[in-house]
């Protein structure tokens, strides 16, 4: 009896193994045909999803599977660079323009020119975007994905109440900011501040709007001219002398800037359309936007961009190209922007209906002519990540002067 049972069991085990083996073989064969593209991306809104785009792509391109990995923004640059150095980058990653010099230096990126030259969608992408994203060696490594231009948010209700009009120059802006900085409940303490400055990482866009528009630039020696130092002093004074920005300014990052605006702690700040939905949800029609005011030498605002890049270590470059060109095509790109909250890179989407956000789109397009980018310099990434915030904070605290601050920047880019 025992023997029979044992035989029976053995039979079951053997047949299971055989069956499983056969199945495995079959699926193994199928996997060989499927190319999987490892894709890194990030979205500001934690609830946003891009699954529908991936599904659509996989249906249109049987045999390609997109393995999307959402990477936290704070650690994105560091993770990407370490993955590249470790020799295991993703096939495709969303990248920032200012990472390009380092990635090219590492020979990590695949030039896309051979595909772009025959790609039908190329003429539907803004010429200016192609221009800004082309690398200094003349090659195109980045495939445009999304764009934003920074503008100034303002509280329409507060402007109306105080009878203020939209400032055109930085002096007018300072005047407006001073008037907006006030004690609203009569307890002797300031409750509303005129301008929310981001003093932590990412705040170089606030700084640039006032300093790069008034005589400073990133050419060699361009940061330490008397005009540049004066412009920087003017910006520091917003916090130190005129006190139009909250006392927490040196440590305020993205979350604080947005929260202060939404809670009415600040009356203006700088950001882009990516945060417009949240602003409207919190403040309704009490918030709108205008282009950043003019400095002593015109206007400057930050062109915020993100692109997709294919890594030279990838073994599925053709499939990767299909995916990034798919994302840069009209309706797909528009779907992507629904998740990213940003603006499409396609000319044919220019007339797209942004509904309640159209006033922010207007401020964006009005700023297009003077939107600029940080220099295509390998030191830019560290400038953004740590040099700008620490140095700015020290100047805000009064530990260093405007001149010393600009000299630190100059030294960072061009050495002694």
Partner 1 sequence: MQRMIRALRRKTDLYPYSLLLPALTVTTFIIFIPLVYTFGLSFFNYVIWKPHEIKFVFLGNYKKALEDEVFWISFRNTLIWIAGVISLQLVLGFITALLLNRQFFWRSLARSLILIPWVTPSVITALMWRWLYDGNSGLINDILVRLGILDRYFPWLANGSTALPAIMFALMWQGFPFFTVMILAGLQAIPTELYEVAKVDGANPMQMFFHITLPMLMPILLTTILLRTIWVANSLDIIFIMTGGGPGYASHTLPLYSYIRAYKGLDFGYASTIAVYLTLLLVMIVTMYVIRILKTEERFR
Q: Enumerate binding residues for partner 1 (CB under 8 A).
A: 75, 78, 81-82, 85, 102-103, 105-106, 188-189, 199-201, 246-252, 256, 259-260, 263, 265, 378, 381-382, 385-386, 389-391, 393-394, 396-397, 399
d(CA 313, CA 317): 9
- Sheet containing 151-155: order of strands: 268-271, 151-155, 287-290
| Cα separation values, 21 from 15, 27, 58, 215, Å | 10, 10, 28, 71
Q: Specify the residue, 105 or 281, whose C-beta has the smaller distance to partner 1.
A: 105
Q: Specify the residue, 147 or 283, whose C-beta has the smaller distance to partner 1.
A: 283
d(CA 74, CA 46): 13
For residue 392, the minimal CB distance to partner 1 (Å) is 9
What's the 3-state SS for 181-227? Answer: CECCCCCCCCCEECCECCCCCCCHHHHHHHHCCCCCCCCCCCCCCHH
For residue 351, the minimal CB distance to partner 1 (Å) is 40
Phi, psi torsion values for 294, nearest 5 degrees: -80, 140
Q: By three-state DSSP, how is residue 303 classified? A: strand
d(CA 190, CA 182): 5
For residue 305, the minimal CB distance to partner 1 (Å) is 20
For residue 402, the minimal CB distance to partner 1 (Å) is 15
Q: Specify the residue, 121 or 264, whose C-beta has the smaller distance to partner 1.
A: 264
Nearest to 38, CA basis, from 65, 79, 67: 67
Q: Specify the residue, 254 or 326, whose C-beta has the smaller distance to partner 1.
A: 254
d(CA 104, CA 109): 6
Q: Specify the residue, 48 or 75, whose C-beta has the smaller distance to partner 1.
A: 75
HSE at residue 313, side-chain half, CA atoms within 13 A, is 16
Q: Specify the residue, 16 or 263, whose C-beta has the smaller distance to partner 1.
A: 263
């Amino acid at each position: 009896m025992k023997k029979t049972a044992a035989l029976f069991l053995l039979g079951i085990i053997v047949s299971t193994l055989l069956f499983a083996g056969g199945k495995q073989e079959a699926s193994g064969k199928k996997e060989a045909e499927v190319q999987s593209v490892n894709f890194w991306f990030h979205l500001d809104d934690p609830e946003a999803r891009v699954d529908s785009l991936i599904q659509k792509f996989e249906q249109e391109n049987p045999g390609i599977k997109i393995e999307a990995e959402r990477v936290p923004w704070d650690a994105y640059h560091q993770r990407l660079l370490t993955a590249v150095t470790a020799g295991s980058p993703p096939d495709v990653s969303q990248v920032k323009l200012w990472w390009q010099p380092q990635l090219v230096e590492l020979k990590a990126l695949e030039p896309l020119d051979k595909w772009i030259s025959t790609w039908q969608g190329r003429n539907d992408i803004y010429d200016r975007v192609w221009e800004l994203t082309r690398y200094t060696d003349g090659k195109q490594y980045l495939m445009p994905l999304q764009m934003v231009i920074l503008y100034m948010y303002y509280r329409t209700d507060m402007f109306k109440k105080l009878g203020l009009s939209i400032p055109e120059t930085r002096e007018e802006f300072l005047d407006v900011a001073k008037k907006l900085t006030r004690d609203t409940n009569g307890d002797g303490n300031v409750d509303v501040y005129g301008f929310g400055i981001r003093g932590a990482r990412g705040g170089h866009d606030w700084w640039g709007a006032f300093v790069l528009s008034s005589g400073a630039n990133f050419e060699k020696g361009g940061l330490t001219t008397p005009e540049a130092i004066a412009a920087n002093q003017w910006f520091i004074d917003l916090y130190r002398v005129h006190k139009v920005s909250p006392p927490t300014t040196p440590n305020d990052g993205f979350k604080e800037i947005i929260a202060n605006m939404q809670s009415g702690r600040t009356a203006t700040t700088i950001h882009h359309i990516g945060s417009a939905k949240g602003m409207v949800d919190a403040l309704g029609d009490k918030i709108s936007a205008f282009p950043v005011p003019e400095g002593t030498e015109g206007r400057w605002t930050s062109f915020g961009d993100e692109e997709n890049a294919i890594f030279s270590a990838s073994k599925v470059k053709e499939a990767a190209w299909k995916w990034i060109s798919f994302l840069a095509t009209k309706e797909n790109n528009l779907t992507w922007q629904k998740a990213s909250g940003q603006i499409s890179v396609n000319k044919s989407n220019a007339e797209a209906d942004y509904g309640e956000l159209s006033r922010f789109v207007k401020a964006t397009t009005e700023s297009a002519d003077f939107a600029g980018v940080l220099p295509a310099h390998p030191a830019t990434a560290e400038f953004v990540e740590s040099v700008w915030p620490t140095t700015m904070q020290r100047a805000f605290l009064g530990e260093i002067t405007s001149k010393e601050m600009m000299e630190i920047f100059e030294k960072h880019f061009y050495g002694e």
